[in-house]
Amino acid sequence: MNIIVTGGAGFIGGNFCHYMTGKYPEDTIICIDKLTYAGNMETLAPIMEKPNFRFIRADIADRDAIYKIFEEEAPDIVVNFAAESHVDRSITDPEVFLRTNIIGTSVMLDACRKYGIKRYHQVSTDEVYGDLPLDRPDLFFTEETPIHTSSPYSASKASADLLVQAYARTYKLPCTISRCSNNYGPYHFPEKLIPLMIANALNDKELPVYGKGENVRDWLYVEDHCIAIDLIIRKGTPGEVYNIGGHNEKTNLEVVKTVLAQLGKSEDLITYVTDRPGHDMRYAIDPSKIHKELGWLPATPFEQGIKKTIDWYLENREWWENIISGEYANYYEKMYGNR
Ligand code: NAD
Ligand code: TYD
């Protein structure tokens, strides 16, 4: 099978390309990525020479480029990871989120209609459900929870989901959607909580915790997300949405303290900074549908996953040091300089 993976030079898409090229030597993985600030060819370096992997630089919102790729590659399956993915950036500059996350998705869907496809899979997020209150630990997001977004990022992802559902119903396009909780693991861009805290701690720099650090996220090791998507594209039912999460809720402060403890660094590095506007309080996934229908369960407990992740950042300093010493330094100054 020919499988197009968009956004494969990013965090989750990159891990997915590693996973799929290793597991299915008989399939061809064609990675399409625009290489924005978040895309990194170093992430794909270990698989670039594999005979079942190809990289094409293209923008998913560029209709001509995407149609040409479909014509040449005749994909059986498309997995759309490509997105602008950072909530803080969506607050300062929403427009590019609308272009990539909504228009880009519509172009990918149109290409699937035009050239035919066995499956289109949209990689979505639990953030489309909005947030849950901290004092109701009994509540979880199910696939029936209404869409109720908070940030320009989540609004753009929800818009994309609605388009996918419209194409599935109107044009009978065989689509699935997965909505996953927060991922962590290797190749995670150091603007996101866990890699940012690891990098800052290793550099004895302040760890900027938004507000009181009491917001809750439901953390999943990235490989477990990849396994779930692989199951959905092969065995999931077209037209369905699948939530992915491992009941691993932690406050941000708990996560930051775990990182510091593992690295043997002092909690004095923690600095409380101005909260994110509209900051979602708690995300928590009910993953019972994907467990019951597809037998998926997360394989990596948090204690193991966070250790593997920290070890990876220790062993791959060059990967993230190249990022934080480059253009990203200007972003960091802009985002945290006056916070
Ligand atoms: P990321 O920011 O690390 O990577 C995004 C990739 O998409 C980059 O390689 C970038 O170059 C590429 N890209 C951006 N705009 C593009 C365009 N117009 N055309 C082609 N490529 C483009 O993101 P991530 O954390 O790996 O997230 C991947 C997907 O998973 C996103 O759709 C995101 O919404 C979703 N998701 C992420 C998480 C998480 O915790 N990170 C959780 C649930 C869902
Ligand atoms: P993030 O990794 O940006 O993911 P998301 O907002 O999509 O869940 O942030 C995770 C949590 O960590 C979120 O509650 C915001 C918080 N946070 C901080 O406290 N400090 C930071 O510097 C960052 C980037 C995030």
Q: Are 47 and 13 in contact (CB under 8 A)?
A: no
Is ligand 2 within 6 A of the CB of residue 192? yes
Residue 230 CA: distances (Å) to CA of 7, 34, 80, 218, 235: 16, 23, 13, 21, 8
CA of 224 to the centre of ligand 1 (A): 17
| Tokens read off for 270 | 């923690």
Is ligand 2 within 6 A of the CB of residue 89? no
Helices (H) and strands (E) in the chain, counts: 14, 13
pLDDT of amino acid 286: 98
Ligand 1: which atom is nearest the Cα of residue 37?
Answer: 11
| Tokens read off for 318 | 């060059």
Give which of 193, 188, 187, 166 is closest to 177, Cα–Cα.
Answer: 166
Determine the Cα angle at 148 with ends 144 and 149, to 5°.
135
Residue 167 CA: distances (Å) to CA of 29, 114, 145, 172, 176: 24, 12, 21, 7, 11
pLDDT of amino acid 12: 99
d(CA 207, CA 198): 9
Convert 13-24 to b/e letters by CB count within 10 Å (16 or more is b): bbbbbbbbbeee
d(CA 192, CA 61): 25
| Tokens read off for 293 | 């229908």
d(CA 91, CA 102): 16
d(CA 7, CA 80): 7
| Tokens read off for 203 | 């550099």
For atom 12 of ligand 1, the residue with the nearest CA is: 7
| Tokens read off for 313 | 């950042």
Is ligand 2 within 6 A of the CB of residue 209? yes
pLDDT of amino acid 326: 83
Residues taking part in catalysis: 126-127, 153
pLDDT of amino acid 329: 79
For atom 6 of ligand 2, the residue with the nearest CA is: 87
User: Hey, is 175 helix, strand or coil?
Assistant: strand
Q: Which domains does the chain have, with CATH numbers?
A: 2-187+220-248+278-300 (3.40.50.720)
pLDDT of amino acid 244: 98
The 10s digit of each residue's pLDDT in 272-310 is 999 999 999 999 999 999 999 999 999 999 999 999 999
CA of 192 to the centre of ligand 2 (A): 6
Q: Are 185 and 18 in contact (CB under 8 A)?
A: no
- Provide the H-helix boundaries in the chain: 11-23, 41-44, 63-73, 87-92, 95-97, 105-115, 152-170, 193-202, 222-235, 252-263, 288-294, 302-315, 317-324, 328-336
CA of 32 to the centre of ligand 2 (A): 27
pLDDT of amino acid 332: 87
d(CA 229, CA 217): 20
CA of 106 to the centre of ligand 2 (A): 28
Could you tell me the pTM of the whole model? 0.98
User: Hey, is 58 helix, strand or coil?
Assistant: coil
Residue 292 CA: distances (Å) to CA of 26, 38, 236: 29, 35, 12
Q: How does pLDDT run along the chain (339 residues), one tens digit per residue? A: 999 999 999 999 999 999 999 999 999 999 999 999 999 999 999 999 999 999 999 999 999 999 999 999 999 999 999 999 999 999 999 999 999 999 999 999 999 999 999 999 999 999 999 999 999 999 999 999 999 999 999 999 999 999 999 999 999 999 999 999 999 999 999 999 999 999 999 999 999 999 999 999 999 999 999 999 999 999 999 999 999 999 999 999 999 999 999 999 999 999 999 999 999 999 999 999 999 999 999 999 999 999 999 999 999 999 999 999 887 778 888 889 888
Packing angle of the helix pair 152-170, 105-115 (nearest 10 deg):
20
Q: Which of 55, 62, 81, 177 to mutate to test the pocket of ligand 1 (most atoms within 8 A of CB)?
A: 81
